Amino acid sequence: MNRLILLVLWPLYLFSSNGDGPIGVRSAALGHASSCLFDVWSARNNQGSLGFLRKSEVGAFYENRFFVKELTQSGFAAAIPIKKGTFGLSYSSLGYKLYRESHMTLSYGMKLTDNIAAGIGFDYLNTRIADIYGNANAFTGSVGLTAKILPQVVISSHVFNPFRAKITNYNNEKIPTIFKLGAQYIFSKKVSILAEAEKTSAQKINMKGGIEYNPSSLIYLRVGGSSYPTQASFGVGVNYNGLKIDMCTSYHYILGLSPQIGLSYTFGKEKIKPSNNSTELPEKL
């Protein structure tokens, strides 16, 4: 029966798998436009943005994709600023006991100037298929750059797996390279809009975007969407004294809803104080 389930779900895995893609409930609510966000999930989503973090933070998330337990995804991330830069660690797992994709990233980001930060990630990927297939492993990397070009404007770029690492010798199967180019415009302390173009070596361009609205210091409302696959998303976040609870759901017109929930906590005081020349942006959830 489990083998039959795997066979039936295989097209959904091929369509929906983003084991190498962005993680975190906040970015999911914004259509997964993630490279311009400054949060703990930058440890995976863009190590350049990780360089602007000034507080230690840990987080975890869980996604029930299309309400199919065999397609669940979960993970965690941590970011620890030091005197020069920020270290990050992230892990995510997608699938179930007969098929599972795991992705771990050790990352580091630092400011090059007051308004420009760059970062690098070292990635380990594992794919496990039960019975006779076993495990396949690969090591690869990622690089990112984020710039605050105006008080209201952030631009970013990120490349995952630039050298097309091979996951297995069978059929010369390689991990796709993923290019991202993003932008964020902050209208005020309450409203910001994000847009991102993502291109993989195996698929066409995916246009993503979202709007984040902060009606109070406690509540955040988010809405977003993407073009490939065509999905809409919306979510809500609560930030209470550094404890953040995020919820969202994405909707695909054929496969249905994919709810997520996340929890994160920000520790202590800022490790890096901004200079008077930096282009400071409002602190976001």
Q: pLDDT tens track of the chain, all 285 residues? A: 444 444 444 444 444 444 568 899 999 999 999 999 999 999 999 999 999 999 999 999 999 999 998 899 999 999 999 988 999 999 999 998 888 999 999 999 999 999 999 999 999 999 988 877 788 889 999 999 999 999 899 999 999 999 888 777 666 778 899 999 999 999 998 999 999 999 998 788 999 999 999 998 899 999 999 998 899 999 999 999 899 999 999 999 898 999 999 999 999 755 544 444 444 454 454
Distances (CA, A) of 245 to 99, 216, 250: 29, 15, 17
| Nearest Cα to Cα of residue 65 among 256, 246, 282 | 256
The CATH architecture assigned to 2-267 reads Beta Barrel (2.40)
Which residue blocks in 32-162 are alpha helix, DSSP H? 42-45, 47-50
> What pLDDT score was predicted for residue 119?
96
> What pLDDT score was predicted for residue 144?
96
Q: What backbone phi and psi angles, to 5 degrees, belong to 184?
A: -135, 135
DSSP 8-class letter at 69: G
Q: Do 246 and 25 touch, CB atoms closer than 8 A? A: yes
- What is the Cβ-side half-sphere exposure of residue 155, based on CA atoms within 13 angstroms? 3
> What pLDDT score was predicted for residue 174?
83
CA 183 to chain centre: 15
Distance CA 256, CA 249 (A): 10
- The distance between the two most distant Cα atoms of the chain, rounded to a whole number of Å, is 64
> What pLDDT score was predicted for residue 65?
92
Distance CA 219, CA 107 (A): 30
Residue 63 tokens, joined = 């996604």
